[in-house]
């Protein structure tokens, strides 16, 4: 093993982004992914003697990260049966009407998807979801896995998955509106009177 490669700071600078992107793809959550990268590097340092050099450093680090991801998924699955679902009712008044009402997302909201910053905001919004909802939305929507596979991985019924996705969509819709779409609209209309609805953001 070359001496100069045996430095966790160097692992961070050379492989940190790749590990983070890998974790993010599997969790959809920014904070959790950052924590997993940190845990991976610390574990790798602790067990540095096990690196034989027959794989690349990145493959070795990714294998450690993958084990951490599996552990994390197991922990979430074991929490799956607990009633951690938030009531959808918080998005509706007592007559089951929208409260707050969905705001405008601008003329061409699809174009947001082309912005890296939008995706960062999305992953931060995912951090704010209860883990069971974030996991469901990440698997089913971001990673486009079939319903049966999602139910099996999460250990829930189809109808429970439907509840989680509904709540995730309600919460993400609101979060993206406050953190991305409304601030963008405010920036565009700088001169005329500021919109009253932005005050909430």
Q: Which residues bind another protein (CB under 8 A)?
A: 8-9, 12, 16-18, 20-21, 24, 34, 37-38, 41-42, 45, 88-89, 91-92, 95-98, 101-102, 104-105, 109-110, 112-116, 119-120, 122-123, 140-144, 147, 158, 161-162, 165-166, 169-170, 172-173
Distances (CA, A) of 138 to 26, 29, 68: 8, 9, 17
For 55, which DSSP code? S
CB 168, min distance to another protein, A: 9
CB 98, min distance to another protein, A: 5
- For tokens 């910053």, the residue is 117
> Which one, 80 or 137, has the nearer CB to another protein?
137
47, 53, 40: which is closest to 12 by C-alpha? 40
107 HSE (CA, 13 A, CB side): 1
CB 191, min distance to another protein, A: 26
CB 83, min distance to another protein, A: 18
Q: Tell the burial category of 125 from Cβ atoms under 10 Å away from its Cβ (0-12, 13-18, 19+).
A: buried
């Amino acid at each position: 093993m070359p001496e100069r490669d045996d430095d966790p700071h160097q692992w961070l600078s050379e492989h940190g982004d790749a590990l983070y992107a890998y974790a993010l793809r599997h969790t959809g959550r920014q904070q959790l992914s950052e924590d997993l990268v940190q845990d991976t590097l610390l574990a790798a340092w602790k067990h540095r003697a096990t690196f034989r050099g027959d794989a690349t450093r990145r493959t070795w680090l990714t294998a450690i990260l993958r084990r951490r991801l599996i552990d994390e998924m197991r922990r979430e699955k074991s929490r799956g049966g607990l009633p951690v679902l938030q009531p959808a009712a918080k998005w509706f008044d007592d007559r089951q009407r929208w409260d707050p009402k969905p705001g405008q997302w601008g003329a061409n909201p699809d174009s947001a998807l082309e912005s890296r910053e939008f995706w960062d905001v999305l992953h931060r919004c995912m951090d704010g979801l209860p883990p069971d909802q974030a996991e469901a939305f990440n698997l089913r929507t971001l990673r486009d896995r079939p319903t049966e596979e999602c139910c099996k991985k999460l250990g829930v019924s189809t109808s429970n998955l439907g509840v989680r996705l509904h709540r995730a969509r309600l919460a993400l819709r609101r979060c993206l509106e406050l953190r991305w779409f409304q601030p963008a609209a405010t920036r565009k209309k700088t001169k005329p009177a500021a919109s009253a609805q932005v005050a909430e953001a």
